A and B are shown apart, each in its own frame.
Chain A
Amino acid sequence: MCFVNETDYGTPAVRSDKTVTLTIDGREITAPEGTSIMRAAREAGIVVPKLCASDMVKAFGSCRLCLVEIEGRGGTPASCTTPVADGLNVSTQTDRLQSIRRGVMELYMSDHPEDCPACAAGDCEMTAMAETVGLKEIRYGREGANHIWPAHDGGANPLFMEQDVSNPYFAYDASQCIVCSLCVRACEEQQGTFALTVEGRGFESRISAGMHEPFLESECVSCGACVQACPTGALREKSVIEMGMPDRSVVTTCAYCGVGCSFKAEMQGEEVVRMVPYKGGKANRGHSCVKGRFAYGYTTHKDRILNPMVREKITDPWREVTWEEAYAHVANEFRRIQYQYGKGAVGGITSSRCTNEETYLVQKLVRQGFGNNNVDTCARVCHSPTGYGLKTTFGTSAGTQDFDSIEHADVVMVIGANPTDAHPVFASRMKKRLREGAKLIVVDPRRIDLVRMPHVEASHHLPLRPGTNVAVLTALAHVIVSEGLMNETFIRERCDWDEFQDWASFVLQPENSPEAVETVSGVPAETIRAAARLYATGGNAAIYYGLGVTEHSQGSTTVMAIANLAMATGNIGRPGVGVNPLRGQNNVQGSCDMGSFPHELPGYRHISEEATRAIYESLWGVKLDDEPGLRINNMLDAAVEGSFKALYIQGEDILQSDPNTKHVAAGLEAMECVVVHDLFLNETANYAHVFLPGSTFLEKDGTFTNAERRINLVRKVMEPKCGYADWEVTQEIARAIGKDWNYQHPSEIMAEIAATTPSFSGVTYDLLEREGSVQWPCNEKAPTGTPVMHMDGFVRGKGKFIRTAYLATDEKSGPRFPLLLTTGRILSQYNVGAQTRRTDNVMWHGEDLLEIHPFDAENRGIRSGDWVKLASRSGETSLRAKITDRVAPGVVYTTFHHPDTQANVVTTEYADWATGCPEYKVTAVQVSPSNGPTEWQREYEEHSRRSRRVVQVEAAE
């Protein structure tokens, strides 16, 4: 079968307008100025032997295997470090060179284990190189000083290092290391973590993690870049050590976060041997994080449910049934409920983890099959304000740039996002740009890693009180306008001038001055001024923001405040600038694009638009309801009221990811038919009547759309373990309720999307195969997609400035609840953790911890590691405390990756005024010492144990 092999050109590509021409091995070759001879040769098909070079990192020139001769120059320079120049005449294969190379290899091999398992497996370049240079025998033997043998000359060998197997995913065997430093450079340049060093000198030298620590205890974030870079068997994936080398590979897309990294899934038959980031992937350019590369174990975890199950009451045990029975049951129940309680009594939830095609089908099932618009998505709980805010100001509900744009940014402003944890691969690209000199402004209540880390330091950190984003951003605008730092030409050309003037007079009001805002936000006025000046005058300025912006009662207003800043300073419409939401889950963008909201058809067209409805009505042969349907919250309210009775939930765990767990539980409990379609019996399934097994991203074809609007192909690498991909299951449900669906392959679903949605009209699977990926809009005007939006004018016409008055949230701290809780996520876990908790990633994050400032902790008599009770107006939970000054006094912080913590028991129902996006980022709480889990946690635990019982049916033989 096919194996996707990528060429390693030896050194990174160089961007230059000037080219030079030289001769290599008698051939005339032209290359951009600054390119290495090695790369120029490789691009022309001439392979120079190498060990210490890779096109992912800068050349270092230590192995001396890549020597060449240059006419008229003495010596034998290394081709990886010597740049091309006009008129050079280079030879790469002379007898003299071969004999030097043989000598080099002989020395290396004399200190390299003979019986190296990696060589045997073909996972080591040493033997291949030895062969290339014609090395036949090793004259020195391996008896001298070496790193290979634990014991030597009758005593312990001081040079020998034990294997380091502390990391769950890869092993380090120093005896095979040739100190080429590729791993050190990968860690520095690609990942930006600086976890590795070369320890010792000369022959003594070895690679070491941190301060001579095991990998797991060092700063290493387990991204795997070093493992991929290592040319020998010194750093190897444990899966490869166990299973041997893969025999085929397929390019696909990571299903974890909104970066949307491309990977080669390297396989043996139906089993994944390893995931290797794909250099051709335009989002990640060959890099990845620990989740995408290593944490795929959940896809084969024993907890996966592979048979459909049904039960009458949620207190009954589950009963396994055939797919046919399950479909019939769902169809009958939904029909009965609609007959009994009305057409609007049922609905569906689409998933931002499923493909675009699957999402499209779920909303189609609801609109065409159920005949209402009761469809929503969990993207509601994270980025709906982005859609609303950017649509209002710019005219499209999406970020403006591609990730490559960061390479042209001079000032980066990160607001309410923690990219090193939540969007690690993009963070690596950002850190690279920051190390090159771009300036950084961080607006976040917590001192996130980016604020200070090796070789990166923020120029300004604005540690605002949770809930005051709008005040601070408007104050930045105040400084920009009052000091005349705006870009008037841009505003006059691109925006509505009257609206600008109205906005300018608004931001100049005294309550928006930095001094006034200092009192509400706690950010010193001078810091606000300095940050505003840097953003407005520092060159290309780009804003990246996350859930810390959207998950507030003023989330939509904050997004508009960000858009105002970008328009006022002209930072929109070219590479290096823009407004960029960092999306949480892999397909948040796509699920929003595909019409998952109750008021919108695919492509963000309001359901009240007659012309749009007509397109679908004629294609689907039904009359569509012109009224917006119920949002998740409203479905739950309506369920408690008794008018909403059945829900089909694909790939989401609303009980865990929606605010106010008790409200969700009460709503679900009041329904008569809850259908959960997922990989695992998730928390929501505790309240379900039907369980339909789901498929993983490895088991289906489709597309995901990442945070840069990039549509990436997801390719099936193995058969679905439960027999059916998610889109097939939805199709069967539609058929069971009498709809004539006949999709043979997801590409046909995409064809329907393209035919009905103007911004997707150019998208086909053929195009995606050809281009690798495209960014929407992709249509006649942009046949290969749109990397940067609003280049010549805004999509809506004129950019719209909006007054963004700060209205304090009603969730206020007071004597009973004096602290403000804000929530976030960490690198090794993902969302509610259903997947990552089922991998070895738990080694990094076993439980959710409450971060609390030493001052607040001392007042309450809390020490690190103590159990504490976290109580808010809506509920309480218990978890362990971690004392740190990353959070300011008065603020506490936790993640929500573990169901036992149930952090959402504590968060309230306050929500964004425009979109209903819950206010996860601000909850007034009290923290006090406790002895362990609360009563609710214990009760819940018991309920969940009971509701997960399954009665297996005996095989009928």
Chain B
Amino acid sequence: MSHDPGFKSGEEKLIYMANQIADTFQAMQPHDAVNETADHINKFWEPRMRRHLFEIIERGGQGLKPLVLEAAPKVKRPREEAGV
């Protein structure tokens, strides 16, 4: 078995999760979806995941839905931590 779609790489999974959150808030709270998406990511994503998210965005944000990109400026930048 070469490629296993059920077993995504860390990055694919992160993009998938961010989009899933954005889609849900788009449907749930259309007026405030940008803030809700950013808020959700801040509350539940640990710094390592947020750092990956910013890396993806800095490389052009390929695969991310527009709403995620719109929410990104409101996502908290993780502190730099020595040794990680």
Measured CB to CB, the residues of A under 8 A from B are 341-345, 373, 553-554, 557, 598-599, 606, 608, 627-631, 634, 637-638, 640-641, 643, 660, 662-663, 802-805, 807, 872-875, 908-909, 911, 913-916
A51–B13 Cα distance when bound, in Å, is: 66
Given known pairs A342-B83, A643-B84, the reply for A913 and B21 (CB within 8 Å) is: yes
Chain A nearest CB, measured from B38 CB (Å):
14
Determine whether the beta carbon of B10 is less than 8 Å from that of A873: no
Determine whether the beta carbon of B46 is less than 8 Å from that of A873: no
Determine whether the beta carbon of B48 is less than 8 Å from that of A638: yes
**B interface, over-half SS:** helix
Task: Give B4-43 interface residues, CB cut-off 8 Å to A.
Answer: 4-8, 10, 13, 17, 20-21, 23-24, 27-30, 40, 42-43
User: Which residues of B are found within 8 Å of A628, using beta-carbon distances?
Assistant: 43-46
Determine whether the beta carbon of A803 is less than 8 Å from that of B28: yes
Determine whether the beta carbon of B81 is less than 8 Å from that of A641: no
Determine whether the beta carbon of B29 is less than 8 Å from that of A803: yes
Determine whether the beta carbon of A557 is less than 8 Å from that of B24: yes
User: Among the listed A627, A630, A804, A908, which residue makes an inter-chain contact with B28, where contact means beta carbons less than 8 Å apart?
Assistant: A804
Chain A nearest CB, measured from B63 CB (Å):
14
Measured CB to CB, the residues of B under 8 A from A are 4-8, 10, 13, 17, 20-21, 23-24, 27-30, 40, 42-49, 78-79, 81-84
Determine whether the beta carbon of A341 is less than 8 Å from that of B49: no
Determine whether the beta carbon of A557 is less than 8 Å from that of B28: yes
User: Which residues of B are found within 8 Å of A660, using beta-carbon distances?
Assistant: 6-7
User: Which residues of B are found within 8 Å of A599, using beta-carbon distances?
Assistant: 43-44
The 10 A-B pairs at the shortest CB distance, nearest first, are namely: A874-B6, A805-B27, A342-B83, A908-B6, A342-B84, A913-B20, A873-B6, A637-B10, A913-B24, A803-B28
Determine whether the beta carbon of B6 is less than 8 Å from that of A342: no
A630–B20 Cα distance when bound, in Å, is: 19
CB nearest neighbor in B for A875: B6
User: Among the listed A342, A608, A807, which residue makes an inter-chain contact with B82, where contact means beta carbons less than 8 Å apart?
Assistant: A342
User: Which residues of A are found within 8 Å of B5, using beta-carbon distances?
Assistant: 873-874
Determine whether the beta carbon of A344 is less than 8 Å from that of B6: no
User: Which residues of A are found within 8 Å of B20, using beta-carbon distances?
Assistant: 553, 913
User: Which residues of A are found within 8 Å of B48, using beta-carbon distances?
Assistant: 344, 630, 634, 638, 643
Determine whether the beta carbon of A608 is less than 8 Å from that of B43: yes
A345-B84, A805-B24 are known contacts; what are 12 more A-B pairs with Cβ within 8 Å? A599-B44, A627-B79, A631-B46, A637-B13, A640-B10, A807-B23, A873-B6, A874-B5, A909-B7, A913-B24, A914-B21, A914-B24
A333–B69 Cα distance when bound, in Å, is: 41
Determine whether the beta carbon of B10 is less than 8 Å from that of A909: no
Determine whether the beta carbon of A627 is less than 8 Å from that of B78: yes
CB nearest neighbor in B for A643: B84
User: Which residues of A are found within 8 Å of B10, using beta-carbon distances?
Assistant: 637, 640-641
A802–B84 Cα distance when bound, in Å, is: 39
Determine whether the beta carbon of B7 is less than 8 Å from that of A344: no
Chain A nearest CB, measured from B2 CB (Å):
12
User: Which residues of A are found within 8 Å of B83, using beta-carbon distances?
Assistant: 341-343
A637–B78 Cα distance when bound, in Å, is: 18
User: Among the listed A343, A608, A630, A807, which residue makes an inter-chain contact with B24, where contact means beta carbons less than 8 Å apart?
Assistant: A807
User: Which residues of B are found within 8 Å of A916, using beta-carbon distances?
Assistant: 17
A741–B83 Cα distance when bound, in Å, is: 29
Q: Could you jot down 16 A-B contacts, CB within 8 Å?
A: A342-B83, A344-B81, A598-B46, A599-B43, A627-B78, A630-B46, A662-B7, A802-B28, A805-B27, A805-B28, A807-B27, A872-B6, A873-B6, A874-B6, A913-B21, A915-B44
A554–B21 Cα distance when bound, in Å, is: 10
User: Which residues of A are found within 8 Å of B28, using beta-carbon distances?
Assistant: 557, 802-805
CB nearest neighbor in A for B40: A914
User: Which residues of A are found within 8 Å of B17, using beta-carbon distances?
Assistant: 911, 913, 916
User: Which residues of A are found within 8 Å of B42, using beta-carbon distances?
Assistant: 608
Most A CB contacts (10 A, CB to CB) among B6, B20, B42, B84 go to B6
A373–B44 Cα distance when bound, in Å, is: 12
Chain B nearest CB, measured from A835 CB (Å):
29
User: Which residues of A are found within 8 Å of B84, using beta-carbon distances?
Assistant: 341-345, 643
CB nearest neighbor in B for A560: B28
A874–B13 Cα distance when bound, in Å, is: 14
Determine whether the beta carbon of A634 is less than 8 Å from that of B49: yes
A627–B47 Cα distance when bound, in Å, is: 7
Chain B nearest CB, measured from A503 CB (Å):
10
Most A CB contacts (10 A, CB to CB) among B44, B45, B84 go to B44
User: Which residues of A are found within 8 Å of B24, using beta-carbon distances?
Assistant: 554, 557, 805, 807, 913-914
A630–B45 Cα distance when bound, in Å, is: 8
Chain B nearest CB, measured from A570 CB (Å):
23
User: Which residues of A are found within 8 Å of B23, using beta-carbon distances?
Assistant: 807, 913
User: Which residues of A are found within 8 Å of B81, using beta-carbon distances?
Assistant: 342-344
A458–B73 Cα distance when bound, in Å, is: 52
User: Which residues of A are found within 8 Å of B49, using beta-carbon distances?
Assistant: 634
A345–B82 Cα distance when bound, in Å, is: 12
User: Which residues of A are found within 8 Å of B44, using beta-carbon distances?
Assistant: 599, 628, 914-915
Determine whether the beta carbon of B4 is less than 8 Å from that of A873: yes
A341–B48 Cα distance when bound, in Å, is: 14
Given known pairs A803-B27, A803-B29, the reply for A627 and B6 (CB within 8 Å) is: no
A956–B69 Cα distance when bound, in Å, is: 66
A324–B8 Cα distance when bound, in Å, is: 41
Chain B nearest CB, measured from A391 CB (Å):
11
Determine whether the beta carbon of B46 is less than 8 Å from that of A629: yes
A909–B13 Cα distance when bound, in Å, is: 9
CB nearest neighbor in B for A553: B20
CB nearest neighbor in B for A923: B6
